[in-house]
Amino acid sequence: VTSDERFHGKPMLILDVGGGSTEFILGDQEHHQFRHSFPLGSVRLLEKLRPHDPPSIQDLAGCRDWLREFAIRQLGPAMESTLTEAVRRQVMLVGTGGATTILARMEKKLAHFAREDIDGVCLTRQRILDYMVHLWSLPLSERKKITGLPGNRADVIIMGVAIYEAVMQHFGLDELHVSTRGLRFGALLDSR
């Protein structure tokens, strides 16, 4: 992520929502103040909460309540000493991995992955909330028709977007910057 010039010299909270876990890295360039993997992933949460198809308003409310409690019990205590109010005012939230790149593809209405078109897309907290409400209102069969959302990820995207929304809400972060420069990108850079 730090190979992207847009993020040089800025404190970042890098968030990668995976299937079984979510990784948080707080720092700037080579200096990390916090690194932790939490047992919170889109597949894990989908299996735990098992929303209806289509998800009901109660399913969404239950998911948001569960995530709010998780943030209070686990994220807050683990991170609040490093992610202080002063840091929050300066930090850029950068998302890597499938959930954010899918949201960027949906935002740009891209049927196929195009790194150069989605790298650096910025989504506001309101836009994330809009996507969450929309995706949670649709049955799986309709989500599979959304441009930018791969059919094989149409089930788990509802949890991925809910996790991002919960983190942004809990820490008062207003923007999510999308980076395609995740672990594979870094491995390729190191091999040169």
- Which helix or strand (DSSP H or E) is residue 23 part of? strand 22-28
Q: From 137, 135, 130, select the one nearest 146 (Cα to Cα).
A: 135
Has residue 190 got a pLDDT over 60?
no
Q: Specify which residues 16 forms β-bridges with.
A: 23, 96
The radius of gyration of the chain's CA atoms, rounded to the nearest angstrom, is 16
Q: What are the angstrom distances between the C-alpha of 63 and each of 42, 44, 80, 92, 187?
A: 11, 12, 23, 25, 34
pLDDT of residue 157: 98
pLDDT of residue 189: 52
This prediction has a pTM of: 0.92
Please give the average per-residue pLDDT across 5-28, as a whole number.
90
Position 192 confidence tier, pLDDT thresholds 50, 70, 90: low
Q: 68-118 pLDDT, tens per residue?
A: 999 999 999 999 888 888 888 899 999 999 999 999 999 999 999 999 999
Q: 132-165 pLDDT, tens per residue?
A: 999 999 999 999 999 999 999 999 999 999 999 9
pLDDT of residue 183: 58
Mapped onto helix, strand or coil, the DSSP state of residue 115 is helix
Residues in Cβ contact with 147 at an 8 Å cutoff, skipping those fewer than 6 apart: 105, 106, 109, 110, 111
Position 7 confidence tier, pLDDT thresholds 50, 70, 90: confident
Q: CB 7: neighbour CB atoms within 10 A? A: 20
